[in-house]
Structure 1
Amino acid sequence: MSVRVQQYARAGHARTPSRMSLIQCIRHIVQTEGPKALFKGLGPNIVGVAPSRAIYFCTYSQAKAILNQNIPPDTPIVHLSAASAAGFVSCTMTNPIWFVKTRLQLDGQHVTALQCIKRIYAKSGIRGFYKGITASYMGISETVVHFVLYEGVKARLIAARSVDGVASDQRSPRDFIEFMGAGAFSKTVASCIAYPHEVARTRLREEGDKYRKFWQTLHTVWMEEGYRGVYRGLGTQLVRQIPNTAIMMSTYEAVVYLLTTHFNNSFYENT
């Protein structure tokens, strides 16, 4: 999340012109709202992570399998299309969860997730939970860049370990460490390229009418805060995303490998 404090979160009110570092922001939040404020939105975040990842990887795997059957397999267009489909489905189905999480993080008052949901629904109805979804859709570009780069790096790593040009189906701990590195590298590049959508999405989820549309939001931020404004919070984002993505991609590859090995062994044992 971008560097936000209570004064920032009010219906388009003027923002502090000075730029705060991660440490300064943490200190300010603790001083003004107490240590518990550092964990605002944790509930929806925990609730949203599992279904979001499950929906994403399920859609990605299925789309990739279908595309591989109809066009040249494992090409960049396959990875790009599968990642786009997965991002679209995941964003659409889980946006209300992330919307509530962001509102809780921005709100200076001590409200529960249920109170926040009731307030949003009373003011805007169901549509209120999808405010900022345009920015989420624009963020699919980050996912596309991430997966295209990841699959490319992964293919090169596997090729480098192949014997006589034939890739082995066996995996060692070294393979999964390399997958972690590939995930971290690809996510870093993707985040740096597409980060402004994160700023736009967070601003759109604030209360008030100052930020209404995706491009209007980015233009407003750019005019008021310059290029630093549209990249505000990038350092915090990278600190959060890089280790998370590295572990996630390695875990994904490990689960796929274990399930594939298990079902293949079961198939041969029963035939």
Structure 2
Amino acid sequence: MEVIEEVDYEGLSTDSLAINMLAGSLAGIAEHAAMFPVDMIKTRMQVLSTSPSAAYASMSDAFTRISTTEGTKRMWRGVASVILGAGPAHAVYFGMYELAKDMAGGNEGGYSFLATAGAGAVATITSDALMNPFDVVKQRMQAHGSNFRTVADTFRTVYKTEGLAAFYVSYPTTLTMTVPFTAVQFSSYEFIKDKLNPANTYSPITHVTAGGIAGAVAAAVTTPLDVCKTLLQTRGLSDDKQIRNARGMGDAFRIIYQRQGLGGFARGMTPRVLTNMPSNALCWLSYEGFRFFLKGGHNKPPPPSALVRD
């Protein structure tokens, strides 16, 4: 008798870059679309404004005031930009991650911090180059008092009035934030997954748990940089000359510290963590699930009749 062992779906040589990229694209769209209203509240709380009506004391305050004065539909303005950008950006993100991790030996012999963190850094540098302009458009549409209604109109107006640089002025800050975010997120996810599921098979509960914890930790650690990024990406909407003339991360840090002290760098942390925890859990669940089913469900237990072969 010969016992057929369960197949480890992550170790299969049939894994392809195309499957990883397609799964990543679908996961990115699902993740960002589902949590968009919370992300919108985070943006509102982070933007520095001279208008009292644009200052929010808490998440509940922001939600109540936005929904009652602007309507619940306003919570979704800018979601099209996220969907358009998240698909290709996440395809590159996960495709590069799996490729770099494999080249660094991260798929050999269990968890490797250096391989996963390094692969995550490579993935985020390439994907953020695609996503940054869409993120700028999204936040311009989310901001208080914004008159932008469509993605195309926002792109045209920002380009016409501020030039191409407006879409990338926050890119160095974005990388300064997302490289450590991704390194923490991927290494935490792989570590927790390895502990909860040593067999490394498809396990929805494991992917949700590991993804959620990893997202919360990474979001909390990098919130100060996210506040700086928001200031740079929404500077064109400000009536404050100092903010409008901010040129990079150094200027953003100085403005925030001068206006609000160290506490200013924690603005929006709660909605950021509450956004990233479930969205990261959903992202990993979607990614691992799409990848699993796109490969035909390779680690499904074989039928009883196939477990024993004469």
1:191 maps to 2:216: no
Can you list the C-alpha shifts for 1:87-142, whole angstroms capped at 9, x where unaligned? 00010112111111111111514322222111111123222211211121012211
Residue of structure 1 equivalent to 2:188: 149
CA contact (8 A) 2:140 2:146 kept: no
Query: CA offsets per residue over residues 163-194 of structure 1, 9 Å max, x none?
Result: xxxx3x654xxx22022111111111111111
Gaps in structure 2 of 5+ consecutive residues: 1-38, 239-243, 301-310
Matched, 1:228 2:263: yes
Aligned to 1:179: 207
Deviation at 1:219, TM superposition (A): 2.7
Query: In structure 2, how many angstroms separate the alpha carbons of the residues matched to 1:217 and 1:192?
Result: 19
Cα gap change, 1:225 to 1:170, in 2 (>3 Å): closer
Residue number in structure 1 paired with 2:251: 216
Shift of 1:14: 2.8
Q: CA RMSD in A?
A: 2.8
Q: In the aligned structure 2, how far is the partner of 1:119 from the partner of 1:18?
A: 26
CA distance in 2, matches of 1:99, 1:260: 35
Shift of 1:215: 2.5
1:1-271 to 2 correspondences below 5 Å: 1=39, 2=42, 4=44, 14=50, 16=52, 20-68=57-105, 74-106=111-143, 108-111=145-148, 112-139=150-177, 140-159=179-198, 167=199, 170-171=201-202, 175-206=203-234, 207=236, 209-260=244-295
**Structure 1 counterpart SS, 2:257:** helix
Tell me which of the two structures has the higher relative contact order, counting C-alpha pairs closer than 8 angstroms and 6 or more residues apart: 2
In 2, the alpha carbon distance for the partners of 1:199 and 1:258 equals 38
What CA distance in whole angstroms lies between the structure 2 residues aligned with 1:41 and 1:15? 22
Secondary structure of the corresponding residue to residue 4 of structure 1: helix
The TM-score with structure 2 as length reference comes to 0.72
Q: Secondary structure at the match of 1:255?
A: helix
Percent same amino acid among aligned pairs? 24
Return the offset for 1:31: 4.2
CA 236–69 in structure 1, closer or farther in 2 if over 3 Å, else same: closer
Letter in 2 for 1:157: L
- CA separation of 1:19/1:99 partners in 2, compared to 1, >3 Å: closer, same or farther? closer
Supply the AA of the counterpart residue of 2:215.
K
1:18/1:125 CA distance change after superposition, 3 Å:
closer
Equivalent residue pairs, number: 250
Any idea what SS the aligned residue of 1:68 has? Answer: coil
User: Which residue of 1 is the match for residue 27 of structure 2?
Assistant: none
Shift of 1:218: 1.9
Structure 2: distance between partners of 1:133 and 1:84: 14
Structure 2 match to 1:163: none
TM-score, normalised with respect to structure 1: 0.81
Residues 137, 151 of structure 2: 8 Å contact kept? yes
What stretches of structure 1 move > 6 A for 4+ residues in a row?
Answer: 69-73
